[in-house]
Structure 1
Amino acid sequence: MEKQTIVAPMTPNGVSAVAAIRVSGPQVKSVVKTLFGEKAVAGLKSHMAKLGTAKWPASVEGGCRAGAVIDSLLYLYFEGPNSYTGEDVLELYPHGNPLIVRDLLQACRMVEGVRLAEPGEYTRRAFLNGKMDLTQAESVADVIHSANRSELENAHRLLGGALSKKVSALTEQVKDISARMELDVDFAEEEADPDYAGWETRFVAIRQSVQGILDSFRGKAEVGRLPLVVLYGAPNAGKSSLVNALLGEDRILVSDIAGTTRDFVEVRLFLDGGEIRLVDTAGLAEKAADALDALSMEKSRQILAEADMKILLVDSSVDGVVGSSSDVILSEAKNLDLQSNPDLVLRTKQDLNQVPVKDGELAISSKTGAGLAELKSALNARLFKNRENSEDLWITSEREKACLEEALAGIDRVLLQLRSNPAVELLAFEMQIVRRALQSITGEISSEDVLQSIFAGFCIGK
């Protein structure tokens, strides 16, 4: 049976300037004919954008909408195998009205043999058609979901085949040794015992390479976790005002009354290096005013214990002399912070009272914006290490990790047997296990269950 054609939106549901829909499979030209007419099919050229008016097909139920305009839009045709999936592909770029997207999907599905795509089916077809290997296919999801630049750069390296090249080189070495072993097995009765001289050195080198890749593993939870930055300090130190200034909007209620913030408030802030979680806490004082105040301060201490970076805010308007009451507030806030020093001290409200700052401190004003750029730069430098031009990469796939562990265990068994002068048949058997484990990483050997597990976690349009 001929492979079915699939269709799905590539952009999230919702209103936008432009949406995108992808069609892939043997019925692409039939979809073009249905939406844009015979002339559009005749004028199709691969990788060339066309402007057309999509209309309801005559086969629409009841016929009341047949010929009615769905939308005027751009469309692109990619002739297989020079496409993402390796098949004929059509991409539609209508206006981003959900009603238009829904109508286009329905019109496409009126063509016989066209159905909605399953999650990850486009990338799965790209893998099956040889457009990418399995490690590259898995990295597509990492490219989409990376939360910071270092993760995104790593995902691009994986997508570009950096890991594939390493694994392929190891696989070739294992294949070469394995072939020599199997040759020895074939002629075991005719020749003397094989010469294992030098083999152990090669196996040790392969083991080091496999171990190096395995040591680079970083789990999805670790990679996907956003850095947590917690602002804390005395009541009315300017924490909520700072959050609003950093976001450029009035997200948190601000008042001259001390203690307005009673619970910690978490927001997302984008820096040059990536996204962070920024938390505004209730003010910390030496003594709680009431039971609710005590509960608020306890929650502040709890979230501080989880922080990747703790920032203490000290009100510069309290006095103008560094070394007097300001330092008393700083000292008390340190004690309240679970006996831990802050990672950065901010002297706030510099527009009211400019005071000099010490090393490890920044002067800011949420009202005028003074010092905010320096603060963002400090956050970025602390939370996102500069990895520009780095050739290092790490793996995030549990499947790849399991394959590497299987290969490593096989190599260890080979090394153990080599040192005890074993039968060459046993060595050849173990090397087959190692080779298959490495081939499974790139998908040279894969099962339907493995593919289903990998691509089920993708979004529908990818």
Structure 2
Amino acid sequence: MMDTIFALSSGSAPAGIGVIRISGPGAADALQRLAGKLPPPRRAVARYLKDSDGGVLDHALVLFLPGPHNATGEDTAELHLHGGRAVIAAVEGVLAGMDGLRRAEPGEFTRRAFINGRLDLAESEGLADLLEAETELQRRSAMALLGGGLSRVVEEWRGQVLTLSAQIEAVLDFSDEEDSADLPPSFAEGLGALQSVIGEWLARPRARALKEGFRVVLAGPPNSGKSTLFNALVEDEAAITAPTAGTTRDVLQRTCAIAGIPFTFLDTAGLHEVSTDPIELIGIERARAALGKADLVLWLGDEGQGPPDAWEIETKIDLGNRNRTSSPEMRISAATGEGMDELRRRLIAHAAAALPNPGQVALSDRQHTLLAEALASLSEISPAGDLLLIGESLRSARSAFDRLIGRSATEDMLNTLFSRFCIGK
């Protein structure tokens, strides 16, 4: 039998309300000992909470949510307290003193929801993404995953694989009969359709850019205006700017949202070949490494000297002695703001095209790897091949689907996922 756990599930005190959740076989008894008697199921009732000596702890709203039809799948109680630190600490202290109760570990409530079948693994990942979401795009993608947008599709694919496996079994069962050892045409059609749709999902934009932000690296020689532009884009004096060349010695990174699109901007050390300063050389090496990981490079240097597909940006157009570029992507002055609105507009459009559509499920690295594994197994199949080998490939594909939604999962993988959650969730 599982322990009964409790934790503060609302934000840190002080707050208007503090919500303590209790989940497990002892939830009803704990609530009765605090509130005197159980309220009607799923109805919020005002009660005085008292300690073992009858001292009043708080006047609170209490709920009893019997399992299995609730968030965790087991009996759950909620205490909606006044959100002061002393109130919360007093109630937690009484709960901690009850036999059979203990404080919850991070993500333990959600882990119990997974164990009790209230959420599958993909939906649990969606909940973790939702709690971490900072932009509207991230929120909508997380809601799609939490709402079963991927799980339903994977279950459908799993059913199709089972249908294909049944066709293999049928042919094997009757293979000793004349003219009955060939797979029906529907097998190749079903296999091809399944391969095609999984390939389409694998070609979608990934969740990494959505979570970490579209990576824009500002690069160019020393004193080309990178740091001034960086500050203008993140709307903060994050980088030190000065007329002296080589002011930036390291990669400076800031994440922000522009029009709801998550960006990560990186200011880099000036790129040139004549430095003998060992610290500056380290900065230049890190700048080159950042270029290799960029989704987009804004090149502020000489025309044609930037990386392939970089946007060539002519800066400092407010100065008369600037280096002119014959056909730059943009001409701007980060100091005066000229051209900056247009640059932001184009960055938003470019990043939006590379990110998942609003409300579309974006695959994590784990999900992408397992779908790729399933597709690889299906791609090994030749309808004219050995039936036993075809059956094994179908089994491998089904196994990848099972691991994706959590029908089979290792303890280490579960620990990694649920450690992303805060205590109380």
TM-score bracket, normalised by the shorter chain, equals 0.7 to 0.9
Whether 1:168 aligns to 2:155 is yes
Question: Which of 396, 399, 402 in structure 2 is aligned with 1:440?
Answer: 402
- Whether contact under 8 Å (1:228, 1:279) holds in the other structure is yes
> How far apart, CA to CA, are the structure 1 residues paired with 2:233 and 2:14?
27
- SS of the residue corresponding to residue 344 of structure 2 reads helix
- Whether contact under 8 Å (1:407, 1:437) holds in the other structure is no
Question: Which of 265, 276, 288 in structure 2 is aligned with 1:302?
Answer: 288
Q: How does 1:273-312 map to 2 (within 5 A)?
A: 273-282=260-269, 291=277, 295=281, 298=284, 301-302=287-288, 305-306=291-292, 307-312=294-299
- Whether contact under 8 Å (2:370, 2:400) holds in the other structure is no
- Whether contact under 8 Å (1:23, 1:89) holds in the other structure is yes
Question: Which of 35, 38, 44 in structure 1 is aligned with 2:36?
Answer: 38
Whether 1:461 aligns to 2:421 is no
Whether 1:83 aligns to 2:75 is no
With normalisation by structure 2, the TM-score equals 0.72
Q: How does 1:229-268 map to 2 (within 5 A)?
A: 229-232=216-219, 239-255=226-242, 260-268=247-255
Partner of 2:118: 131
In 2 relative to 1, CA 12–277 (structure 1 residues): closer, same or farther, beyond 3 Å? Answer: farther
- Whether contact under 8 Å (2:374, 2:397) holds in the other structure is no
- SS of the residue corresponding to residue 166 of structure 1 reads helix
Q: How does 1:83-102 map to 2 (within 5 A)?
A: 83-92=70-79
Q: Which amino acid aligns with 1:27?
A: G
Whether 1:8 aligns to 2:7 is yes
Task: Give me the CA root mean square deviation.
Answer: 4.9
Q: Which amino acid aligns with 2:42?
A: S
Shift of 1:440: 1.8
> How far apart, CA to CA, are the structure 1 residues paired with 2:222 and 2:376?
56
Partner of 1:58: 52
Partner of 1:327: none
% identical equivalent positions: 27
Q: Which amino acid aligns with 1:112?
A: D
Question: Which of 330, 345, 358 in structure 2 is aligned with 1:377?
Answer: 345
- SS of the residue corresponding to residue 86 of structure 1 reads coil
Partner of 2:329: 360
Shift of 1:7: 1.9
Partner of 2:99: 112
Q: Which has the larger radius of gyration?
A: 1
Q: Which amino acid aligns with 1:5?
A: T
Q: Which amino acid aligns with 1:67?
A: G
User: 1:182-202, CA deviations, whole angstroms, 9 ceiling, x for partnerless residues?
Assistant: 566667779974563325424
Shift of 1:92: 4.8
Q: Which amino acid aligns with 1:440?
A: D
Which range moves more in the overlay, 93-102 or 140-149?
93-102
Q: Which amino acid aligns with 1:38?
A: G
In 2 relative to 1, CA 267–456 (structure 1 residues): closer, same or farther, beyond 3 Å? Answer: closer
- SS of the residue corresponding to residue 353 of structure 2 reads coil
> How far apart, CA to CA, are the structure 2 residues paired with 1:139 and 1:187?
45
> How far apart, CA to CA, are the structure 2 residues paired with 1:17 and 1:349?
52
- SS of the residue corresponding to residue 42 of structure 2 reads coil
Shift of 1:291: 3.6
- Whether contact under 8 Å (2:402, 2:408) holds in the other structure is yes
In 2 relative to 1, CA 176–126 (structure 1 residues): closer, same or farther, beyond 3 Å? Answer: same
In 2 relative to 1, CA 174–366 (structure 1 residues): closer, same or farther, beyond 3 Å? Answer: same
> How far apart, CA to CA, are the structure 1 residues paired with 2:360 and 2:3?
40
Which range moves more in the overlay, 103-112 or 14-23?
14-23
Q: Which amino acid aligns with 1:113?
A: G
Partner of 1:409: 377
Q: Which amino acid aligns with 2:402?
A: S
Shift of 1:103: 4.8
- Whether contact under 8 Å (2:13, 2:85) holds in the other structure is yes
Number of residues paired by the alignment?
A: 422
User: 1:404-425, CA deviations, whole angstroms, 9 ceiling, x for partnerless residues?
Assistant: 7358537845x45x446x6xxx
Q: Which amino acid aligns with 1:405?
A: E
- Whether contact under 8 Å (1:7, 1:114) holds in the other structure is yes
User: 1:380-439, CA deviations, whole angstroms, 9 ceiling, x for partnerless residues?
Assistant: 2223327686786453263774477358537845x45x446x6xxx48964883685266
In 2 relative to 1, CA 18–360 (structure 1 residues): closer, same or farther, beyond 3 Å? Answer: farther
In 2 relative to 1, CA 394–213 (structure 1 residues): closer, same or farther, beyond 3 Å? Answer: farther
> How far apart, CA to CA, are the structure 1 residues paired with 2:63 and 2:410?
32
Shift of 1:6: 1.9
Which range moves more in the overlay, 290-299 or 304-313?
290-299
> How far apart, CA to CA, are the structure 1 residues paired with 2:267 and 2:162?
57
In 2 relative to 1, CA 210–371 (structure 1 residues): closer, same or farther, beyond 3 Å? Answer: closer
In 2 relative to 1, CA 279–30 (structure 1 residues): closer, same or farther, beyond 3 Å? Answer: same
- Whether contact under 8 Å (1:218, 1:396) holds in the other structure is no
Q: Which amino acid aligns with 1:345?
A: I
- SS of the residue corresponding to residue 204 of structure 1 reads helix
In 2 relative to 1, CA 264–218 (structure 1 residues): closer, same or farther, beyond 3 Å? Answer: closer
Q: Which amino acid aligns with 1:198?
A: P
- SS of the residue corresponding to residue 409 of structure 1 reads helix
> How far apart, CA to CA, are the structure 2 residues paired with 1:106 and 1:193?
72
> How far apart, CA to CA, are the structure 2 residues paired with 1:351 and 1:34?
75
Q: Which amino acid aligns with 1:363?
A: I
Q: Which amino acid aligns with 1:215?
A: L
- Whether contact under 8 Å (1:230, 1:303) holds in the other structure is no
